[in-house]
């Protein structure tokens, strides 16, 4: 089994879209995933890489709580870890595709 080193970072783009960036192989490969939410950048905690607790966000006329967005971010991170674990199990290096 070969271990692939990777890093993830959640962040908010200027338009408020919540993204997760994944880098691996000495930062040669990078992929970004949209979490599917847009937020007010002032309600983002850069240190925790999550939406600030106890905040609400109006998305498409619907009120969305920070907990829901943070759960989506955590779900993405779990899926990313599972994908890299499967590649490691088969001693393969993932590609951006």
Distance (Å) of CA 51 to CA 16, 36, 46, 84? 11, 13, 9, 25
Give the 3-state secondary structure of residue 8: strand
**pTM attached to this predicted model:** 0.89
For residue 26, the model assigns a pLDDT of 65
For residue 64, the model assigns a pLDDT of 94
Do residues 87 and 4 touch, judged by C-beta distance below 8 A? yes
For residue 28, the model assigns a pLDDT of 78
Q: How far from chain centre, in Å, is Cα 20?
A: 3
Question: How is the chain split into domains, by residue range?
Answer: 6-89
Q: Which residues of the chain have pLDDT under 50?
A: none
């Amino acid at each position: 089994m070969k271990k692939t080193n990777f890093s993830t970072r959640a962040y908010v783009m200027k338009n408020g879209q919540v993204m997760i960036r994944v880098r691996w192989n000495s930062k040669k490969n990078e992929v970004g995933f949209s979490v599917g939410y847009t937020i007010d950048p002032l309600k983002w905690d850069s240190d925790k890489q999550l939406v600030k607790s106890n905040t609400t966000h109006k998305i498409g006329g619907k009120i969305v709580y920070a907990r829901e967005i943070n759960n989506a971010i955590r779900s993405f991170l779990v899926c990313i870890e599972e994908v890299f674990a499967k590649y490691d199990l088969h001693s393969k290096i993932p590609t951006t595709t």
